[in-house]
Structure 1
Amino acid sequence: MAAVKLSDVKIKTLKPKDKVYRILDADRLYIEIRPTGAKVWRFKFVFQGKESSMSLGEYPSISLADARALKDEMRAKLAKGIHPVEDRKNIKAQALAETLNTFDSIAEEFKLKRMSTKSEIYQGKFDVALTKDISPIIGKKNVSDVTAADVLKILNNTVDRVVKESNGRFTGASAALENRRFLGAVIRYAIATLRAENDPTYAVRDVIKRPRVNHARALTKEERYKARTSLPKYNGTQTVKNAGFILLYTMLRAIEIRKMQWHWIDFENRLIRFPEEAMKKDRIHVLPISDQVFNVLKQQYEISGDQVLVFPAIYSKKNEGMLAKETLNSMLEYIGLKGVTTHDFRATASTLLYEKGYEEAWVEKQLAHAESNRTKASYDHSKHLKPRRKMMQDWADIVDSWKDQQNVQPN
């Protein structure tokens, strides 16, 4: 190896040859000129009696001054009994671990491994929470370094965002609480996989108060009359109008109507069989089809029978998306039922059917209220089917009778 005190001018004059050659600078620092023309700094050293060498980078990205400084740094490590190559590997591994252990990377892993059985809607909420509220604050932070102060900032920002986006119609408390649940789930997964030790969401569990729940109520006589007489005049899409009639006639939840698929419907036996994944509490639900529901579904089949969903969103790509969760409530407001929600129709059916003496078991089964005994519930989704079929036909007839209540007085 040639020994020459190097300079930038000298290095620039070094030309490649057929074979690798090296020019020594000082203190075992040298530059290696390769046939490709690359000029690479290397440092030769002895550690515990064994000679080794290491790369310090390529010239001119690493200048002569940089190379000499790096050489001095490596010599200092050797003086402390530190192997410079192993130390560099450890630093790289730690940097990689830092990258792999960011909150965003753990959240992505959590979604893949723990949320695969969740609905697309739930996973979508998780993605929105990350994108809008969580990742901008802690996405690039090591999950083990997330603090209660970080969580509090996320919750407060969530509240502010929702209030602003809704023009004050919503408090943001529900979204903040959901974000805290998502945060906690990801961090507890990190704890379970030995990448974090503490859950900072616990310390702020009482900061955001759960909003008061507005429980469903039965409609007044006036509201019932308006519902049945105004819905046929709704000038929105026929799909939304038909979904509205299903809401009135079936006692289904809005989400169950929005999720309804054609292959669940048995026109021949006049039944709709909702699978476990479509129902609250993951319970199979069987709905007898009344004459009114049969006619609505036959009409809707002409509109969307070639698609998966019975009531697809008209403006979604290929009409494959569900109706938006606000659609039915917006329709109710449009026809003059301001303050009435989709859930109020279930409360109305429950109240009126109990008043007319129908068996509690039939009503509860048709409302798809979950059986506390899961094993029992898995077998009795078709229980009381015959009387329930009659009850659902009676209920549809009752709904139709609302339009004949002229000059009705409020309750």
Structure 2
Amino acid sequence: MPKLSAPLTDLQPRNAKPKDKPYKLSDGGGLYLLVNPDGAKYWRMSYRFLGKEKLLAFGKYPEVTLAEARQKRLDAKKLINAEIDPSAEKKERRRAAEERASNTFEKIAREWHANRLPTWRESTARDTLRRLEIDIFPAIGSRAIDAITHQEMIATLRKIESRGAHEIAHRIKATCARIFSYANQLGIQNRNPAADLKDVLKPVKAGHFAAIQADDLPVFLNAMDRNDQRLYMPTRIAMRLMLLIFLRTSELIETPWSEIDLEKGEWIVPWHRMKRGKLTVNPDMTDHHVCLSRQALVLLRELHQLTGGSMYLFPNQRDHEKPMSNGAILMALRRMGYQNKMTGHGFRALAMSTIKEHLGYRHEVVDRQLAHAQKDKVAAAYDRATFLEERKKMMQDWADYIDRLASGEPVMVRSLRLA
């Protein structure tokens, strides 16, 4: 019969003194206190599993008390009785904890971002990551994604909201919800604290892009011609083209010269560069005819003298291999005194309302020139077959109308003077 050890008292571990060699104070059931020559004291438990002698470490005394060591012994015995090796179970718990700690929000967010890259425009990918790096990663990026609470998420979003960036706060909330959902799909279970925050942020009032009205055009055109702000000539031409052809800002500034035939006076934007063409589901594969007026063609030929040696109509001033910054038009409008009064998208809104109200063209003709989505394929085919010639006439009438507003003179092609 094995020798039975009397259980330890609370005083024995406390009063145990070091000796020349390590020694043990047994508590029974395999549990003992190992006292080293340097005075350090460690809880250990010896046990047998599948015929092998094994050892468990329960921590250092007095950080782990006698009562706590006994509870650890009891937990180990339960595992052994259930035919589970306590050592293997402990290693698995440590591995799971390390994996959990390594699955930080930032790590998962960057993985999600990389996974989405093929479906995004370059600007969308850049802006999404930049916003996470500025507003989210400093706050919760290093936290295990399954440990982030609703309170942490609310505090992070309200900090963004507190500087008046209400719309950004809502957008980031939606982005974070998608990241948490992505983690769940990978098997990293979490409560997705961003998905439930429907009412904690202040609502964003729906609004329209700032745009001047037709009556404001003479003053606006005069300001462009005077060029008191000494804007670069390509920037001025870009704004005038925005007014004449009302492409989306990105569609204009990212245009390569290869899309334009100056001899024929044709400009066709391939479908994959259009907003609807970039959709991942049911993209619109319709090339867009810009329909150039005489005035627009004059501007393009003038621009070709300035940037024709570059890939893009509007190359970036610092790196000609890239197009003009997406904020260049907004910056120019701001310098002209039109901040919060006019935007790049405002040129499209101005054209839509003015052409219908002052030139009498049907909504669907203007809408097709704006390259808005068609409700069905039959309608889209009909639009392409019927409206192209009407659109060409409309765009010339629009350019002539702008000239009349600006000068009151007979219709003529007015080229921007070089400054």
| TM range, smaller chain | 0.7 to 0.9
Contact 1:313 1:324 in 2 (8 A): no
The answer for the alignment partner of 1:367 in structure 2 is 370
The answer for the alignment partner of 1:180 in structure 2 is 173
Partner SS for 1:344 = helix
The Cα offsets for residues 271-300 of structure 1, whole Å up to 9 and x where unpaired, read as 333344533333443212222222322333
Percent identity between matched residues is: 23
Q: Return the letter of the residue paired with 1:156.
A: R
The answer for the alignment partner of 1:208 in structure 2 is 202
Q: 2:110, 2:384 → 1: CA distance? A: 36
The answer for the alignment partner of 2:41 in structure 1 is none
The answer for the alignment partner of 2:273 in structure 1 is 278
Q: Which runs of 5+ in 1 are unaligned?
A: 1-6, 11-23, 30-42, 57-62, 67-71, 164-170, 407-411
The answer for the alignment partner of 1:389 in structure 2 is 392
Q: 1:96, 1:218 → 2: CA distance? A: 58
Contact 1:218 1:351 in 2 (8 A): no
Question: Residue 262 in 1 paired to residue 257 in 2?
Answer: yes
Question: Residue 310 in 1 paired to residue 313 in 2?
Answer: yes
Q: Which moved more, 1:109-118 or 1:373-382?
A: 373-382
Partner SS for 1:203 = coil
Q: 2:317, 2:19 → 1: CA distance? A: 69
Contact 1:218 1:348 in 2 (8 A): yes
Q: Return the letter of the residue paired with 1:401.
A: R
Q: How many positions carry a matched residue from both structures?
A: 356
Contact 2:212 2:342 in 1 (8 A): no
The answer for the alignment partner of 2:408 in structure 1 is 405
Q: 1:9 Cα deviation (Å)?
A: 10
Q: Return the letter of the residue paired with 1:172.
A: A
Q: Return the letter of the residue paired with 1:126.
A: T
Alignment of 1:210-359 (within 5 A): 210-221=204-215, 223-234=216-227, 235-282=230-277, 283=284, 284=286, 285-315=288-318, 317-318=319-320, 320-325=322-327, 327-337=328-338, 339-354=341-356, 355-359=358-362
Q: 1:377 Cα deviation (Å)?
A: 4.4
The Cα offsets for residues 162-190 of structure 1, whole Å up to 9 and x where unpaired, read as x3xxxxxxx31111111111111111222
Q: 1:213 Cα deviation (Å)?
A: 1.0
Q: Return the letter of the residue paired with 2:178.
A: A
Q: 2:329, 2:217 → 1: CA distance? A: 16
Q: 1:209, 1:25 → 2: CA distance? A: 69
Q: 2:269, 2:175 → 1: CA distance? A: 28
Give the alignment's TM-score, normalised by structure 2: 0.71
Q: 2:124, 2:115 → 1: CA distance? A: 15
Q: 1:214 Cα deviation (Å)?
A: 3.6
The answer for the alignment partner of 2:153 in structure 1 is 151
Partner SS for 1:230 = helix
Q: 1:358, 1:115 → 2: CA distance? A: 40
Give the alignment's TM-score, normalised by structure 1: 0.72
Q: 1:266, 1:9 → 2: CA distance? A: 95
Q: 1:243 Cα deviation (Å)?
A: 0.8
The Cα offsets for residues 363-390 of structure 1, whole Å up to 9 and x where unpaired, read as 1111122113368648966762222122
Q: 2:352, 2:332 → 1: CA distance? A: 22
Q: 1:359 Cα deviation (Å)?
A: 3.0
Q: 2:239, 2:198 → 1: CA distance? A: 39
The answer for the alignment partner of 1:50 in structure 2 is 51
Q: 2:211, 2:91 → 1: CA distance? A: 66
Q: 2:159, 2:260 → 1: CA distance? A: 44
Contact 1:173 1:211 in 2 (8 A): no
Partner SS for 1:204 = coil
Q: Return the letter of the residue paired with 1:238.
A: M
Partner SS for 2:342 = coil
| Cα separation, partners in 2 of 1:268 and 1:190, compared to 1, 3 Å | farther
Q: Return the letter of the residue paired with 1:233.
A: R
Q: 1:205 Cα deviation (Å)?
A: 1.7
| Cα separation, partners in 2 of 1:405 and 1:252, compared to 1, 3 Å | same
Q: Return the letter of the residue paired with 2:154.
A: L
Q: Which runs of 5+ in 2 are unaligned?
A: 1-17, 25-31, 35-43, 64-68, 278-283, 410-419
The answer for the alignment partner of 2:39 in structure 1 is none
Partner SS for 2:397 = helix
Q: 1:144 Cα deviation (Å)?
A: 2.5
Q: 1:116, 1:8 → 2: CA distance? A: 67
Contact 2:243 2:347 in 1 (8 A): yes
Q: 1:251 Cα deviation (Å)?
A: 1.7
Q: 1:252, 1:47 → 2: CA distance? A: 78
Contact 1:271 1:289 in 2 (8 A): yes
Note the aligned Cα RMSD (angstroms). Answer: 3.9
Q: 1:303, 1:102 → 2: CA distance? A: 50
